[in-house]
């Protein structure tokens, strides 16, 4: 492998990692706060991609409007799911399994609705005109849009870090994650914050779908296809850890990129699972896992 090819694969790995990190961050935020594994997370990712196709391709909006619009729509849908479904199960004293079944059922129904509205044929979103073409980076040229995806992910993750670690809301969120009962006794509106954070997680997943549209195919199966690798990223990094998601997302992204280039995509995915298993043998909670607490 020549040096330019090596640099190209590193950049490919970072682009793949950017999608993984955005999608995994929303899922780990929800788990870190509520201890819920949202199996419908892939559905919100898929909805973001299809909303972008409709808003840009059929309604004539720009990509820059479709991105926040997908966030808002998925935020509202996620908040509704939390209020009308997950919150009720928690109030009724249902356990982890019931929430798992609820979100899985929601995802399966949503997938069929997507097929009814958009069809089952795979589509590819267009790159926004302002990000078409390539940019010279030393010995290689690389698509501007793919570089934008990396930069956008850096900004989003920096924003999430500041939100949870440097604001009053972040303190409340982490206090609820540590002990919801005590936080509510001190006057914290835990149900409202749970809803907002769940919506934030699904909104970020929607943006990940918009960004992935011009890179990956948009089809009804994407709700579950990428979710398996995302669980690998989250478990590898440590459940509830945003920092772990970033590190593990980069590692898994590079494993997938180099594994696909040197061997096949299937072997690359097997290698990703092998890396996760090796880390879990050494650190059963993942790289930075300490349980269901955001950090």
Question: Does residue 241 sit within a domain?
Answer: yes
Q: Give SS3 for 135.
A: strand
Question: Does residue 295 sit within a domain?
Answer: no
pLDDT digits (tens, 9 = 90+) for 76-102: 999 999 888 888 877 776 666 788 888
Question: Does residue 9 sit within a domain?
Answer: no
Question: pTM (2 decimals)?
Answer: 0.90
pLDDT at 216 over 90: no
pLDDT digits (tens, 9 = 90+) for 25-80: 988 888 777 777 788 899 999 999 999 999 987 788 899 999 999 999 999 999 99
User: What's the mean pLDDT in 94-114?
Assistant: 84
Question: Does residue 293 sit within a domain?
Answer: no
Q: What per-residue confidence (pLDDT) applies to 183?
A: 67
pLDDT at 185 over 80: no
Where is pLDDT greater, at 66 or 294? 66
User: What's the mean pLDDT in 198-202?
Assistant: 91
| Whether the Cβ atoms of residue 40 and residue 283 lie closer than 8 Å to each other | no
Question: Does residue 32 sit within a domain?
Answer: yes
Domain that holds residue 144: 20-282
Backbone angles phi, psi at 140, to 5 degrees: -130, 160
Question: Does residue 5 sit within a domain?
Answer: no
pLDDT at 235 over 50: yes
Q: What per-residue confidence (pLDDT) applies to 292?
A: 47
pLDDT at 230 over 80: yes
Kindly report the CATH number assigned to the domain that includes residue 229: 1.10.3470
Query: What is d(CA 82, CA 199) in angstroms, rounded to the nearest whole number?
Result: 8
Question: Does residue 3 sit within a domain?
Answer: no
Query: What is d(CA 84, CA 76) in angstroms, rounded to the nearest whole number?
Result: 12
H runs (alpha helix) in 167-285: 168-178, 180-185, 190-212, 222-237, 242-262, 265-282
Q: C-alpha distances in angstroms, 103 versus 63, 172, 210, 225?
A: 29, 25, 22, 16
Q: At what angle do helices 242-262 and 144-166 cross, to 10 degrees?
A: 160
Angle at 212 (CA atoms; ends 104, 76), nearest 5 degrees: 50
Number of domains in the chain: 1
Residue 155 CA to chain centroid, in angstroms?
Answer: 14
User: What's the mean pLDDT in 174-185?
Assistant: 68
With a CB cutoff of 8 Å and minimum separation 6, the contacts of 277 are: none
15's enclosing H/E stretch is helix 3-34
Q: Which range in 45-49, 133-137, 277-281 is most confidently predicted, on average pLDDT?
A: 45-49
């Amino acid at each position: 492998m020549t040096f330019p090819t090596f640099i190209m694969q590193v950049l490919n790995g970072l682009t793949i990692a950017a999608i993984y990190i955005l999608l995994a961050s929303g899922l780990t935020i929800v788990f870190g706060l509520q201890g819920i594994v949202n199996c419908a997370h892939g559905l919100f990712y898929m909805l973001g991609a299809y909303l972008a196709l409709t808003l840009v391709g059929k309604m004539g909006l720009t990509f820059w409007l479709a991105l926040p619009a997908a966030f808002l729509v998925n935020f509202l849908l996620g908040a509704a799911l939390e209020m009308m479904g997950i919150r009720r199960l928690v109030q009724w004293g249902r356990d982890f399994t019931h929430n798992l079944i609820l979100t899985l059922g929601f995802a399966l129904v949503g997938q069929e609705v997507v097929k009814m509205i958009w069809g089952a044929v795979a589509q590819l979103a267009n790159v926004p005109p302002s990000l078409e073409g390539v940019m010279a980076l030393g010995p290689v040229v690389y698509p501007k849009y793919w570089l934008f995806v990396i930069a956008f992910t850096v900004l989003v993750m920096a924003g999430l870090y500041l939100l949870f670690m440097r604001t009053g809301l972040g303190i409340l969120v982490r206090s609820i994650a540590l002990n919801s009962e005590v936080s509510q006794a001190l006057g914290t509106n835990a149900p409202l914050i749970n809803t907002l954070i769940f919506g934030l997680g699904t909104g970020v997943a929607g943006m990940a779908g918009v960004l992935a549209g011009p890179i990956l195919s948009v089809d009804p199966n994407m709700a579950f296809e990428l979710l398996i690798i995302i669980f690998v990223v989250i478990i590898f990094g440590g459940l509830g850890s945003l920092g772990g998601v970033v590190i593990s997302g980069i590692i898994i992204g590079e494993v997938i990129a180099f594994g696909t280039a040197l061997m096949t995509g299937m072997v690359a995915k097997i290698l990703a699972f092998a890396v996760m298993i090796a880390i879990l043998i050494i650190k059963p909670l993942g790289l930075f896992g300490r349980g269901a607490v955001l950090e």
